[in-house]
Amino acid sequence: MRYASVTDRLSGLGGAKWALHARARAMKAAGEDIIELTIGEPDVPTPARFTEAAARSMAKGRTGYSNGRGEPGLVAALAARYSARRGREIGRDQVMCLPGTQTVLYAVLRALAESDDEVLIGDPMYATYEGLITQTGARAVPVPLKPEHGFRMQVADAAARITPRTRVLFLNTPHNPTGAVLRPDDIRALGALAKQHDLWILSDEVYEDMVFPGITFTSPLDLPDLAERVVVASSISKSHAAPGFRSGWCVGPAEFCARLLPLSETMLFGSQPFIADLTEIAISEPSPVAPGMVDRFSRRAAVLAQTLHGTAGLRVHRPEAGMFALVDVRATGLSGEAFATCLLEQHKVAVMPGESFGAGLSGWVRLSLTQPDDRMVEATTRIAAHAATILGNAA
């Protein structure tokens, strides 16, 4: 039988990257003592006030059809939120609501790129980004994010990869998997480059509310001179510990949203009204759970660095935001994939191989910071022992 070419383009770009995580879950289900440091799921449940709000909304009959842009109350609340945060008026016609950031990015890229186009994307990158770009028919062009620059995209590295086919500069700040946060100067320089080459800027900002102390978040949406070419995406999944509700949005130029609307209507024709009601409440005030996660994750990152950095050749990259830290395991002589596989089999700690996030993290692993403190300490002990054993065997 014949299939659309998109199925070939996406082959190997889906769940295959999470194979080690799936294996760890199976081992845990079988009763093994697995410390799971793979996925980025908040370490607290969705606040009761939000689940109760959804339940009340359903009880009131808010279970009918919605529309392609989003429920009016949520759209208005998002426009108010972004107007206040960005210091300029963001209209309701600049907002689109879709189920989760993943769906938002899928739709936005579908609207901005097509066959033979090119999208600049930082390498390393979140595991789904390559597939999101590839589904459009466009080609992902990796821009190296280097440890010596704190994994922040450098304008010279992006400029060197621009061709006449480049259409989009895809940013992620705060960044997953590195935890890097772009500085105002970075944003201005990359914005100037986008203007020079008439590029769209797509910015995934789902970790905006999870920036660690001493670091300031800046969005390209903050700069009025970039307004006509910036689309930002976010959701309540991380900041409000509500990943299962799949509630996301994008903010961009009114013309862009008008063009995206028929695509949204064709894909989904609206999200669930009761989830929109929950989200309206959630984003209309500061998150009740984000500050606690920021405190715990930044503290655990510090402990991880103190206990692992320099141990058995390991090197820890301290994140500036989010819920992950990176460990450079190249001194062991193993790839990130091999190190993570052996660590799971021999020491029952599940981490993500760096190679799942692009060639730029070959020989690294990513650790989530979402386990309780005592389990994080136990995990670092097991990881250190694993690395020491590898080096001892090599000697």
Q: Are 123 and 151 a contacting pair, CB within 8 Å?
A: no
Q: How confident is the prediction along the chain (395 residues), in pLDDT tens digits per residue?
A: 999 999 989 888 877 788 999 999 999 999 999 999 998 889 999 999 999 999 999 999 999 999 999 999 999 999 999 999 999 999 999 999 999 999 999 999 999 999 999 999 999 999 999 999 999 999 999 999 999 999 999 999 999 999 999 999 999 999 999 999 999 999 999 999 999 999 999 999 999 999 999 999 999 999 999 999 999 999 999 999 999 999 999 999 999 999 999 999 999 888 899 999 999 999 999 999 999 999 999 999 999 999 999 999 999 999 999 999 999 999 999 999 999 999 999 999 999 999 999 999 999 999 999 999 999 999 999 999 999 888 776 65
Cα pseudo-dihedral 155, 159, 160, 165, rounded to 10: 150
The number of angstroms, rounded, from the C-alpha of 156 to the middle of its chain's C-alpha atoms is 24
Measured between alpha carbons, how far is residue 200 from residues 108, 109, 171, 208 in Å?
A: 11, 10, 11, 20
CA separation for the pair 295, 306 (Å, rounded): 17
In DSSP notation, 58-92 reads HHTT--S---SS--HHHHHHHHHHHHHHHTS---G
Q: Are 129 and 121 a contacting pair, CB within 8 Å?
A: yes
- First-to-last alpha carbon distance for the chain, in angstroms, is 54
CA separation for the pair 122, 152 (Å, rounded): 9
H or E segment and range at residue 98? strand 95-98
What is the predicted pLDDT for the residue at 394?
A: 60
The number of angstroms, rounded, from the C-alpha of 299 to the middle of its chain's C-alpha atoms is 21
SS3 222: helix
Q: Are 331 and 321 a contacting pair, CB within 8 Å?
A: no
The token pair at 307 is 């206990």
Q: State phi, psi for 248 to the nearest 5 degrees.
A: -135, 180
SS3 202: strand
Q: Are 168 and 202 a contacting pair, CB within 8 Å?
A: yes
Q: Are 82 and 90 a contacting pair, CB within 8 Å?
A: yes
The token pair at 287 is 């998150």
CA separation for the pair 383, 366 (Å, rounded): 12
| 48-283 and 5-45+289-394 share a CATH fold | no
* Furthest CA-CA distance within the chain: 69
CA separation for the pair 21, 141 (Å, rounded): 27
What is the predicted pLDDT for the residue at 40?
A: 86
What is the predicted pLDDT for the residue at 192?
A: 98
What is the predicted pLDDT for the residue at 13?
A: 81
| HSE toward the beta carbon, residue 141, CA cutoff 13 A | 20
| HSE toward the beta carbon, residue 47, CA cutoff 13 A | 18
Cβ-proximal residues to 234 (8 Å cutoff; 6+ apart), any chain: 101, 204, 205, 206, 208, 248, 249, 250
Q: Are 97 and 70 a contacting pair, CB within 8 Å?
A: yes
338: β partners: none
97: β partners: 249
The token pair at 215 is 């670091």
Q: Are 131 and 10 a contacting pair, CB within 8 Å?
A: yes
**Domain range list for the chain:** 5-45+289-394, 48-283
The token pair at 182 is 């772009």
Fold of 5-45+289-394: Aspartate Aminotransferase, domain 1 (3.90.1150)
Task: Identify the CATH assignment for 48-283 out of 2.40.50.140, 3.40.640.10, 2.30.30.90, 2.60.40.1180.
Answer: 3.40.640.10
